[in-house]
Amino acid sequence: MTTATDALTALASRAAALDAADPLAALRDRFLLPEGVVYLDGNSLGALPAAVPAALEDAVRRQWGTDLILSWNDNGWWQAPQRVGDAVGRLLGAAPGQVLAGESTSVQLFNALTAAARLRPGRPLLLTDPDQFPTDQYIADSVGRLLGLEVRRVPARELAAALAADGDRVAVTAYGPVDYRTGELYDVAALTAAAHRAGALALWDLCHAAGCLPLELDAHGVDLAVGCGYKYLSGGPGAPAFLYVAHRHQDAFDQPLTGWNGHAEPFAMEGSYRPAPGIGRARVGTPPMLSLLALEAALTAFDGVDTVQVRAKSVSLTEFLLECADRLLDGLGFTVATPREAGRRGSQVSLRHPDAYPLVQALAARGVIGDMRAPDLVRLGVNALYVSHADVLAAVRELREAAVSGEYRDERFRRRAAVT
Ligand SMILES: *Cc1c(COP(=O)(O)O)cnc(C)c1O
């Protein structure tokens, strides 16, 4: 055990030095985290930003409670989907007027994929990743059935070759920059360019990218993008998702869910649909105001923060996490599933272990929250706004203890809850 103790001491002083030199360290105060908890599941549900409770209190008591329906005008409720969309857009490298906040990622995907296919009529193929998050695959299949398109699953690493071979038949490529299981990172710029060379549109699902990677949607010529508000953006459980439609596609953007909020004159109450100009046409029904205002307040945690700095810290955290895993988990049955090359890694580290589920439960009982993705991944996500190197070391140290002690074999850690 002396070697493990020595390794721990050395790692603890490295963590302290890295945290002392961290230019983003003070951002942690913009979040309300429980004492004694290490939170490495911000890639599933972001922590609570300190600005949110007061914003919600105001939204409920003053805006709803006192101003009542006048709030749609007087408190800017009607403009909120576009306003919050622009706030998200600042983190995506998107100029104003191209991002709309609302609905869930699944709904936005359905609208965006269908609209993309309609922008490329006569092309019978829709490409998506067999390792994409399930909802992305389910929605793609449904859009395929609806429009009579073939949905072909091509792994992201083979996408450029598939486009070079068969690209003139492809309407749209629908991929995520980060594999939600392994954390592998793909090149948005290069794959977007490959889609464009084939005359196809590139649609990106940014759920595991928005808020942790310096995205440049405008600069890279991305056509469409979607993503959720509750992961790295920390907008709260079920927070509104977002949709990006590049300016050049907006006039022809023809989404299937033609709800009254997207009408050119919603209060004219006309009997047939005429889309609003600009990104406003991507609205569907009445927006969930409390959730939108919570997301808006949550995004203030990014005020003055440069996503390049966020990425630099995220890389440092995952690098250090891998180092801790190498030193402390050796011989305990773990293997690293995440690429070791920083440029090929998102903001998480995934470790394979046959007992991933009970280990994650035992870890939570020790105050370290990560999650498990079936069948065998321990997934540890780092949000650079509130995770420190000391947190990362504590997480790996506790994971080691949970594994060495064998406590994870306890029956109570094996019972599967509804959400894993
Ligand atoms: C989290 C996630 C979703 C979630 O979709 P919802 O409709 O918001 O539940 C979709 N796609 C990806 C890639 C995700 O990571």
- Residue 177 shares a structural domain with residue 220: yes
- Of the residues 251, 268, 302, the one at which a domain ends: 302
Residues with Cβ within 8 Å of 395's Cβ and at least 6 positions away in sequence, in order, are 38, 40, 321, 363, 368, 370, 380
- Which pLDDT value is given to residue 1? 52
Residue of minimum CA distance from atom 4 in ligand 1: 105
Residue among 125, 119, 151, 149 nearest 138 (CA): 151
Number of domains the chain contains: 2
Pair (100, 85) in one structural domain: yes
Question: Under DSSP, is residue 251 helix (H, G, I), strand (E, B) or coil?
Answer: coil
Query: Does residue 274 sit in the same domain as residue 348?
Result: no
% of the chain beyond a pLDDT of 70:
100
Q: What pLDDT was estimated at residue 151?
A: 98
Would you say the CB of residue 137 lies under 6 angstroms from ligand 1? no
Q: Do 369 and 249 belong to one domain? A: no
Structural domain range at position 159: 52-302
Residue 205: CB within 6 Å of ligand 1? yes
Centre of ligand 1 from the C-alpha of residue 44, in Å: 9
Contact between residue 244 and residue 121 where contact means Cβ atoms under 8 Å apart: no
For residues 414 and 127, the model is more confident at 127
Identify the helix (H) or strand (E) that includes residue 321: helix 307-328
Q: Is the pLDDT of residue 251 over 70?
A: yes
Residue 318 has pLDDT above 60, yes or no: yes
Task: Convert the pLDDT of each residue in 137-164 to its tens digit.
Answer: 999 999 999 999 999 999 999 999 999 9
Kindly tell me the sign of the dihedral angle through the C-alpha atoms of 13, 45, 204, 84. Answer: negative
The answer on 355 and 313 residing in a single domain is yes
The angle that helices 80-89 and 289-299 make with each other, rounded to 10 degrees, is 30
Q: Is the CB of 207 under 6 A from ligand 1?
A: yes
Q: Is 239:42 a contact under the CB 8 Å cutoff? A: no
Structural domain contains residue 15:
yes
pLDDT in tens, 195-218: 999 999 999 999 999 999 999 999
| pLDDT for res 74 | 98
Does residue 60 fall inside a structural domain?
A: yes
Measured CA to CA in angstroms, residue 337 lies from 272, 321, 379, 388 at distances of: 52, 13, 10, 22
- Strands (DSSP E) contained in 11-119 are 31-32, 38-39, 48-49, 99-101
Q: Looking at the structure, do residues 238 and 273 belong to the same domain, yes or no?
A: yes
- Residue of 109, 182, 207, 257 best suited for mutating to test ligand 1, as the one with most atoms within 8 Å of CB: 207
The pLDDT of 395-407, averaged and rounded, is 97
DSSP 220-242: TT--EEEE-SSSTT---TT---E
Share of the chain above pLDDT 90, in %: 97
Q: What is the mean pLDDT of residues 125-135?
A: 97
Judge if 196 and 338 occupy the same domain. Answer: no
- 338/244 same-domain check: no
- Choose among 364, 365, 319, 325: nearest CA to 342: 319
Q: Pick from 251, 285, 302: which residue ends a domain?
A: 302
Distance (Å) from CA 238 to ligand 1 centroid = 10
Residues 110 and 215 in one domain: yes
Query: Residue 111: pLDDT band by 50, 70, 90 thresholds?
Result: very high
Q: What is the pLDDT of residues 15-33, one digit of tens each?
A: 999 999 999 999 999 999 9
Q: Ligand 1: which residue has its CA nearest to atom 5?
A: 105
Q: What is the DSSP letter of 363?
A: H
Q: How far is the CA of 37 from the centre of ligand 1 (A)?
A: 25
Please indicate, yes or no, if residue 287 is contained in any of the structural domains: yes
Q: Quickly state the pLDDT bin for 336 (edges 50, 70, 90).
A: very high
Together in a domain, 214 and 348: no
Which CATH number is 222's domain given? 3.40.640.10
44, 104, 105, 113, best to mutate for ligand 1 pocket (most atoms within 8 Å of CB): 105
Tell me how far the alpha carbon of residue 231 lies from the centroid of ligand 1, in angstroms: 9
| Nearest protein CA to atom 2 of ligand 1, as residue | 207
Which tokens in the block code for residue 148? 């009579």
Whether residue 44 is contained in a domain is answered as no
Q: pTM for this structure?
A: 0.97
Average pLDDT of every residue of the chain? 97
Q: How far is the CA of 226 from the centre of ligand 1 (A)?
A: 9
Kindly state whether residue 141 falls inside one of the protein's structural domains. Answer: yes
Domain boundary (240, 268, 302) is at 302
Among positive and negative, which fits the CA dihedral 163, 164, 166, 169? positive
Considering the domain architecture, whether residues 8 and 62 belong to the same structural domain is answered as no
What separation in Å is there between the alpha carbon of 135 and the centre of ligand 1?
7
**What is the pLDDT, as a whole number, of residue 420?**
80
Mutation test residue for ligand 1: of 103, 109, 111, 133, the one with most atoms within 8 Å of CB: 133
What are the residues facing 153 on neighbouring strands?
Answer: 128
pLDDT at 416: 86
Q: For residue 2, what pLDDT is reported?
A: 60
Q: Are 234 and 300 in contact (CB under 8 A)?
A: no
Query: Is 241 close to ligand 1, i.e. is its CB under 6 Å away?
Result: yes
Domain assignment present for residue 199? The answer is yes
Least confident of 98-112, 280-294, 403-417: 403-417
Confirm if 382 and 347 have CB atoms less than 8 A apart: yes
Largest CA distance in the chain: 77
Residue 212 lies in a domain: yes
Q: Are residues 227 and 329 in the same domain?
A: no
Q: Domain holding 311: CATH number? A: 3.90.1150.10
* End-to-end Cα, the chain, rounded Å: 33
Q: Which amino acid is at 397?
A: R
Catalytically active residues are 133, 205, 230-231, 379
pLDDT of 122 over the 90 cut: yes
Q: Is 179 in the pocket of ligand 1 (CB under 6 A)?
A: no
- Whether 38 is in a domain gets the answer no
